[in-house]
Amino acid sequence: MSKGSWYELARMDTGKKNAFLGKLSKRLVESSDYILKENLKDLKSGKEKGLSNALLDRLKLDEDRIRGMAKGLNDIVALPDPVGKIDGMKRMPNGLLVGKMRTPIGSILIIYEARPNVTVDAFALCFKSGNSTILKGGSEAINSNRSLIKVIRDTLEECDIDPDVVQFIDTADRSVLNDLLRMDRYIDLVIPRGGEGLIRFVAENSTMPVIKHYKGVCHVYVDANSDLENALEIAINAKVQRPGVCNAMETLLVNRSIADRFLKMLKEGMDKHDVRLKGCEKTVKVLSGIERAVEDDWYTEYLDLILSVKVVEDIGEAIAHINKYGSHHSDAIVTNDYNNAMRFIQEVDSAAVYANASTRFTDGGEFGLGAEIGISTDKIHARGPMGLEELTSIKWIVFGSGQTR
């Protein structure tokens, strides 16, 4: 791992970084046949290993997804470069001019599972924000990731940039994590993206700072005063549009006063998408034949077409449930009551809180960040979708004219 390559990148001008990212966007599309051929190897292996359909969907690449990665690169090109941005300059009584400058963090290790698009998104965001990248993908996507890294490194060389600004841990052996997580002399930050077990392991064993991208136990609460047709549309989108991702809804909360009517609408709508419902005691009385939810279900990130449903007395119980069982990722209220909407936004302790919209929007692209490094569920340094600015730190800069203290 070369600190020298990071120093080169940290001082690279924006024009050169953007020119490279634009070329990489074209190279990805031109290399589609090669990338898809390697991805098919991973899909075949995943099916043989019995991966769920949701996980296979996360693993799968096709021409549209490759074009999506290429578009993400062009979106990043269009974004302002945060490196060198100066904020808050002020003149002190002694004449010193003091402010803060955005600066790269350094060398960032990103550990992720089963989503090869992360390889490109994570690298590109780190690259433009002046950080070198060490990528450790999951074994499920080893061939896909190798192909993407080859395209990236080949393009770096074409642009006369040290290819070591990106390093790829080319092994499926998870035991190498033990060594990586103790390399604080070379690595400045670790960002784990994946299952709960992986993130816990990284947080407990790393000797460098960790920004956790934890599981997404996301909720939608349908308030008493809401448009039920709109609520149903939001709930279906939040659950079924792409169930295997972290911003998909896992638990639906329904106000008691509308439960009888709305739950029947919900079941009819979810049945069309083969969603398996699990309900609280009140829910199963309305929807006979569905499975009774148990305590563990309220904590579960299914990443599949399974939904827990609970009837709550009021908005206070809904907020209490979310703050107890949720993962502080993304949660939504559907309501026509402005005061309830604002109470929900203020009191729900999550990285993204919505009024009358699907949780599926928690995404760097949807929030205007271009691509994203992931969704941080931490509260320190970065929270929610992490884009370019979240991949920088600050340094204090001071201009004087000979002052001494």
Nearest-angstrom CA–CA distance, 295 and 140: 31
Rounded to 5°, the CA angle 264-230-221 comes to 70
Would the pLDDT of 119 be above 90? yes
Would the pLDDT of 174 be above 90? no
**Neighbouring C-beta atoms of residue 100, cutoff 10 Å:** 15
For the ranges 20-29, 44-53, 100-109, 331-340, which has the lowest average pLDDT? 44-53
Nearest-angstrom CA–CA distance, 363 and 346: 21
List pLDDT tens digits, range 235-289: 999 999 999 889 999 999 999 999 999 999 999 999 999 999 999 999 999 998 9
Q: Which two tokens stand for residue 37?
A: 């051929």
Region 188-206: what's the mean pLDDT?
A: 88
For residue 91, the SS3 value is strand
List pLDDT tens digits, range 313-350: 999 999 999 999 999 999 999 999 999 999 999 999 99
Nearest-angstrom CA–CA distance, 188 and 126: 13
Spell 38-57 as b/e; 16+ CB within 10 A means b: bbeebbebbeeeebeebbbb
Domain boundaries along the sequence of the chain: 3-211+386-399, 218-361
CATH 3.40.50.720 fits 3-211+386-399, yes or no: no
List pLDDT tens digits, range 127-169: 999 999 999 998 899 999 999 999 999 999 999 999 999 999 9
Would the pLDDT of 2 be above 60? no
CATH 1.10.10.60 fits 218-361, yes or no: no
Would the pLDDT of 398 be above 90? yes
